[in-house]
Amino acid sequence: HRHGGNLNTRSTELGSAVTGSPLTATTVKKSIVLSSESRKEQAKQAKATKEERRAQIDGRHRYLISRLADGIDLSEQQVEETIISDDKFQLIEQFFAPSGLKKLLFFYQGVLQQKSNASSRSDGSTNNLPQKKLFITMGSTEDCTGTCAFFLRTSDEVITASNVSQEVNFGMFDSTNGNILQGLEFFLSQIMIPALKSQQNWGAVKEGLKNSQIQDFLYSVDKFVGTLSSSRQNIEDKIQLTKVDIDIYVRNLQNPSDYITAG
């Protein structure tokens, strides 16, 4: 009994040393309340940030939102809500700035999202469901497994509400199942090249399609698409060699006949 009493006393003292006070029901309850208040504060700050961003939306943002809504099966309201909730929202401002970012990428694809009321299964896994989500990306941290929507700019001018439709180009390609090469090949061969070959106005080049440099350019693009197609087919037709555990064949080599058998 004395040893047990000493152990209980030491446990209480240890708990007091670690937490600063004995671990009681009141302490746990306070911790839960503080955690709840912290979540409420975070939600309040997130809402304030969203409303601040919503107030910043002007004709330039409306142009981007409209293009995205046209290309993806979402309403403009859904796109706006997604954009102002995105932690990379500042990339849009960097894209509009003079000498700013030359590209602005959006992925629309399945993202694993854990249900808030999901319980762990018997195997320890949680009930994760892939849900399609639109989000801003730099294109270097996430794999593209769905639709890639992109905005490109070719000049260093500041993007304004009046010039956004002239200075910013929009495009999309499909990378379902992560097949980026196939999506890019389709985009170039079925959309970009036909558009270029039917274009009448080539700016300072008055002869347009008759100009030898324009012809060389289109030939290069055609050749690139051909190379892209060839590379894709080579990758799809690759041969996967089976890994063989050679140890079982060489473990007990003792005489020449064993070597012949192993061979």
The 10s digit of each residue's pLDDT in 223-250 is 999 999 998 888 887 777 888 777 877 8
Structure tokens that stand for 48 in this block: 């304030």
In this prediction, residues 154-167 reach a mean pLDDT of 95
The CA distance from 107 to 174, in Å, is 10
State how far the Cα of 46 lies from the Cα of 53, in Å rounded to an integer.
11
Cα gap 219→236, rounded to integer Å:
26
C-alpha to C-alpha distance for 68 and 75, rounded to whole angstroms: 9
Closest CA to 192 of 158, 152, 232: 152
What's 209's DSSP letter?
Answer: G
Backbone angles phi, psi at 161, to 5 degrees: -65, -30
* pLDDT single digits (tens) 196-210: 999 988 989 989 999
114 vs 8: which has the higher pLDDT: 114
Lowest mean pLDDT, pick from 16-30, 82-96, 156-170, 199-213: 16-30
> Judging by DSSP bridges, how do beta strands 128-137 and 147-153 pair with one another?
unpaired
Please give the average per-residue pLDDT across 32-60, as a whole number. Answer: 89
Q: What is the pLDDT of residue 113?
A: 65
**Cα dihedral 124, 126, 127, 131 sign:** negative
The separation between CA 130 and the C-alpha centre of its own chain, rounded to angstroms, equals 14
Query: What pLDDT shows up at residue 22?
Result: 56
pLDDT tens digits, one per residue of 168-196:
999 999 998 888 899 999 999 999 999 99
CA atoms within 13 A on the CB side of 65: 19
Q: What one-letter code names the amino acid at 53?
A: R
**pTM of the shown model:** 0.68
Average pLDDT over residues 9-32: 55
The Cα-based distances of 105 to 83, 167, 195 in angstroms read: 12, 16, 22
Output the six-digit token pair for 83.
Answer: 């954009």
Is the pLDDT at 110 greater than 60, yes or no? yes
* Res. 11 pLDDT band, cuts 50 70 90: very low
| Longest CA–CA separation in the chain, Å | 104
99 against 12, higher pLDDT = 99
Determine the Cα angle at 97 with ends 92 and 101, to 5°: 65
The residue with greater pLDDT, 19 or 179, is: 179
